[in-house]
Each structure stands twice: as C-alpha cells, then as structure tokens.
A and B are shown apart, each in its own frame.
Chain A
C-alpha cells in the first residue's frame, strides 16, 4: 500500500537536518571524549583517565584565570541586570514619549557594533585612562563587560514586563503603598523570572567573551577564554580538552536553567 501523502514532507530535508545535528555535535563530542584520554595525544586514544582534569586543576594559571572569569562575569551580570531592570521599567508599559525609540535602539546598539570595533575603541580609550590615572585593575574589564551585557539582560526582562499589566501595581498604589513598596512587593516578584533569565544570559555572555577582553585586559589579567586563546597556538595536550569540557558543562547547566525559566516565562502569559 502506498504511504499516505504527507504535505509537510520535503524530500531530503530530514536527512540534511540529521546531517546538521551530526555536524553540530560530533566535534564537541570528540573534544569531550579526548579530555579523558590517558595519553598525551588529542588524536590517538590510549585509554580512559582523569589525569588531564587533575592536571588542569593543579595548573595555577588555569585556576586563576577561571576565578577571574567568574568574578568578572558575576559582577558584570549583577550590575548589567540591575540597570537593565530599571531601564526596562522605564521603557515599557507607557503610552510612549519623546525619546523612547532612541532609548530602545541605544540600549540595543552594543549588539549591532562588530565586537572587534568595540574592542579597539575601548583599547584606545582605556589605554589613555590607564596612563592618566595609573589604575590598571579589573575595573576596566568589568566596565566593558557590563556595557555589552546590558542588552542581553534587557531583552528578557522587557519581554516579561510587556506581558504584565499594571492592574496589580495600581491596586497596591490605591491601597497607599509607596512607590518603593509597590516595586518591592508587586513588580519585583512578578518580574523575577525575567530578571533571573537576564542575569544568567549576561553571565554566560560575559564568561564567553574573548575579543573585547583580549584588547582591554592589562598584563596578568587573563580570563579563561583569553588564556585558552593563548594556548591554542602552542602544542596542545588533552588538558585543553579537559578545561573545555568543564567550561562546556558550566555553560550547558546555565543554558538549561535558562531554557526552563523562559519556558515558565511563556506559560505565565
């Protein structure tokens, strides 16, 4: 008997899709597998071992870079989310006012400028400030990361706010809640999933950044990605695979939480 004619099927599309998923995952899987290689090669399998994870753990440069990465990402994510929340409140649930479109496009502008251009721009600016002030701490990196994280924090928060109507806040205000109390007890709890999503997104974006960090960092301020970039030009051992694997798992965990958060975001429409 002939198969029922399915109007949704296009010949070959499923095959290409499978090929696409294959293409996306094989390199990552290979990378993870060789992290457990007991030999020194990243191409010839010699047996299972955790030795490269231990090696990475005992490598001070790696641990320092990782801690620095997390520090920068955490601070940048918190600041970016805080200011993005305020900005989102200021740009949603309004009949519109002069400058609203400007604000919206300005906040999203870091997404549109090529990263390499922002990187050289900050290099020029910060190198002058470093000379003037003599300060060359982590502040520059944190500032730069905060700025490019803002749009990423802003988008989910704004999306969440747009689906919240003002009725509850108005009711609270009618019952003599101060504006701060309205924000603290009504807006903030309702907005929380959006804020959390924005914060996690910013954290991952900051953690992953290479180009801007590479240009802005002072000597001895390697983050994990810039450290890895430096290593990639040398002879590579599975230690790199081990570091990548841990990094990958961390991103994966955050993205998974983000995925479920944004799902609950959609459901509460």
Chain B
C-alpha cells in the first residue's frame, strides 16, 4: 500500500466514525436531556439547603444527606438515628428481598416446567407468562386490590369454606404489598431462569440418576448449580424494581406502609424537603448500581453454566 492510499483509507475510516457519532447523536442527546442528565441536578440538589416552601435555597448544605440517616431533635439539638427513614429503607430492602425469594420459589418450578415442555409448545407457555407482564401495572395492582379487599373473592371463598368467619383485613397491609410485588415481578424471574434452564444439558441429569442420585439430589447438586447464572439474573432483575417500587405500595399499602419510593415522593410533595428527597434518590441509585454491577459480574454471561 502506498502512503497515499493508506491516508485515504484512514480518512475514510475517520469519516465513518464521525458519521456513526452523528447518527447516534439524536438518541444520545434525548437521553442526556430527559433521562440521565437530570440525575446530575438531583445530585446537586442533595447538597443544597431546603427552601421553606419546597424547592431549594442556593447554598451548600449537608442537611439533606444528614437527614437520610440522622435527625436532630428540634428542642435540644441532640442527634439520633432518623428512625422513620432508616425504618423505611430497611422495610423496603426487606420487602424487596422477600419478594425476590418468593418469586424464585414460584418462578423456578414454573421456568423448569416450561423448559421441559416439547420445544414447539414452549413459546406458548412463555407467551402466557409475558401477557400479564405487558398488562399495565396499575391494572394488575387494581386486580389484586379487588381480589383481597374485605368483600373480595379471596375473603368470600375463605368464608364459604368456613376457614374464617369474618373477613381478614388483607388490603393495605404488608401482605398486600408483598402479594402485589410478587404478582408484578414474577415474569422478570421466570424469563431469565427459563433462558438458563432451556440450555440445561439433560445428559448431566441422566448421569446423576445413573449414579443413584435421588431427584432432590439431582435438583440440588446438578440442576441448580448449572443454572446459577439464571438464578442470579432473575433475582437481581426482580430485586431492583421491587426495591424502588412506587405504584404497588401506593395502591396496595395503606398510608403508613411506605417504601422508599413513596418516601422520596413525600419529600417533594407534602414533606417539602427537596434536598432530603434528592439524597434519598441518590442513595437508591447507588444501591441499584451496586446490584447491577453484581449482576454484570455474575450473570452477564448467561450460559447454561457449563464452564
């Protein structure tokens, strides 16, 4: 190659790369302006002082972050743990973990069931899992609300069966939030689990049986280790949105049964403490980022798990 053709080639390459940046620019700009960029404003607001009627005063202040975990007594200035916030953060984490575990308990057998159907039937079963997923979350929450209200189907059936004599209060409790969250997030568990289980090499299962393993042992020692990436993927995919739930606790939990998403909203609404709301938001983003990192490290390569 002469010097000149080499130059021409590298100029063409440069032009192609410029073109590629130009082509992707509209998408990048839109996301920067209306999705990711504004997060920087939240970060900024978290270190400003709260204004008296919402919004912020333009002076640096650590109050927002201080208030996430601590509170100062208004009378004697003693500092103590901000019970309300810590409790809600802890509650949210707890509810999200329980949701994840319940989704796993129901979702794993379901995904296994689908993966062990004949290949041409699998997509229909999968479709059945995805339909509720594409149904508006509000409608699903509303459907659960109807099921478990005092005069709803669940209580009616339990009373007809004579198991209970008076309706149990289920709606507006933690149970309702859990039920709603499992209901809403279940497909997010089943789909990645299925992706892993579908690639499961049943010859390994067969080998296990040949060596006199019981069904439970095969499940525990062969199948589960092989699909571990799918289990991690599903768990993270459920945990993240469950932790930051807003709609489900709002319509199924009572006014007092908050999760961190509702606490954030409160600071921007009645609470009028925008810096605190901003600091809580950033806390949530950080937790989610760590979960994502863990996901990328451990489940990014969703294979059947054959090393």
Enumerate chain A interface residues (CB-CB to B < 8 A): 5, 7-14, 16-17, 19-21, 23-28, 30-31, 34, 41-44, 79-80, 82-84, 86-87, 89-91, 94, 97-99, 103, 106-107, 109-110, 112-118, 120-125, 143-144, 146-148, 150, 154, 204, 207-208, 210-211, 215, 225, 228-229, 232-233, 240-241, 244, 247-248, 251-252, 254-255, 259, 263
Contact segment of B3-11, B30-38, B75-83, B225-233: B30-38
Q: Tell me if B38 and A107 are in contact (CB < 8 A).
A: no
Contacts A7-B205, A124-B38, A252-B131 given: A83-B109 contact, CB under 8 Å? no
Question: Which chain B residues in 97-116 approach chain A with CB under 8 Å?
Answer: 106-107, 109-110, 112-114, 116
Apart from A87-B26, A99-B21, 10 more pairs, CB < 8 Å: A21-B110, A28-B140, A28-B143, A87-B23, A106-B32, A107-B31, A117-B285, A147-B31, A228-B139, A232-B141
Instruction: Check B71 for interface membership: any CB of A closer than 8 A.
Output: no
Instruction: Say how far B304's CB is from chain A's closest CB, in angstroms.
Output: 15
Q: Is the CB of A113 within 8 A of B143?
A: no
Q: A89-B23, A114-B244 are in contact. Are A263 and B123 (CB under 8 A)?
A: yes
- When distances are taken between beta carbons in the complex, the residues of chain A under 8 Å from B277 are 120
B160 touches A (CB below 8 Å): no
Contact among A42, A122, A225 with B38 in the assembled complex (CB-CB below 8 Å): A122
Query: Would you call B158 an interface residue if the criterion is a C-beta within 8 Å of the partner chain's C-beta atoms?
Result: no
Residue in A16, A20, A117 whose beta carbon sits within 8 Å of that of B264 in the complex: A117
Please tell me which one of the listed residues B136, B251, B288 contacts residue A112 in the complex, with CB atoms under 8 A apart: B288
Check if B84 is an interface residue, CB within 8 A of chain A: no
Q: Is B66 an interface residue (CB 8 A)?
A: no
Instruction: Known A34-B146, A106-B36; judge A20-B186 contact (CB<8 A).
Output: yes
Q: Which residues does chain A contribute within 8 Å of B132, judged by CB atoms?
A: 24-25, 28
* B27 CB → nearest A CB, Å: 4
Q: Give Cα A207–Cα B134 distance, bound, in whole angstroms.
A: 11
Residue from the set B24, B134, B141, B219 with the largest chain A CB neighbour count within 10 Å: B24
Cβ of B251 and Cβ of A16 under 8 Å apart? no
B21 x A90 contact (CB < 8 A): yes
Please report B residues at the A interface, Cβ cutoff 8 Å.
17, 19-24, 26-28, 30-36, 38-39, 41-42, 45, 106-107, 109-110, 112-114, 116, 123, 127-132, 134-147, 149, 151-153, 156, 183, 186, 190, 202, 205-206, 209, 215, 219, 223, 240-241, 243-244, 246-247, 250-251, 261, 264-265, 268, 274, 277-278, 281-282, 284-285, 288-289, 292
* Cβ contacts under 8 Å, A5 to chain B: 209
A109 touches B244 (CB 8 A): no
- Bound-complex Cα distance A154 to B24 (A): 11
User: Are B24 and A90 in contact, with the CB atoms below 8 A?
Assistant: yes
Which residues in B have their C-beta under 8 angstroms from that of A247?
136, 139
Chain B residue nearest to A30 in the complex (CB): B153
Q: Which residues of chain A are within 8 angstroms of B152 by Cβ–Cβ distance?
A: 43
The CA-CA distance from A168 to B3 in the complex, in Å, is 31
Q: When the two chains form their complex, are residues A86 and B274 in contact, meaning their CB atoms are under 8 A apart?
A: no
Compute how far the CA of A123 lies from the CA of B45 in the bound complex, rounded to whole angstroms.
12
CA distance A263 to B126 in the complex (A): 13
User: Can you list 25 pairs linking A and B with CB atoms under 8 Å apart?
Assistant: A7-B206, A8-B116, A8-B202, A9-B116, A20-B190, A23-B186, A27-B144, A28-B139, A82-B26, A110-B35, A112-B289, A112-B292, A114-B240, A114-B241, A114-B243, A116-B246, A117-B264, A117-B281, A121-B281, A124-B38, A210-B137, A228-B139, A232-B142, A232-B251, A251-B135
Interface residues of A, dominant DSSP? helix
- The answer to whether A23 touches B106, judged by C-beta atoms less than 8 angstroms apart, is yes
Contact of B268 with A123 in the complex, beta carbons under 8 Å? yes
* Residues of chain A contacted by B147 (CB below 8 angstroms): 26-27, 30
Q: Is the CB of A20 within 8 A of B135?
A: no
Partner of A120, one of B28, B113, B278: B278
Write out the residue numbers on chain B whose beta carbons fall within 8 Å of the beta carbon of A255: 130-131, 134
- CB-CB nearest in chain B for A143: B34
Tell me the minimal C-beta distance from B60 to chain A in angstroms.
Answer: 17
Which residue from chain B places its CB closest to the CB of A118 in the assembled complex? Answer: B35
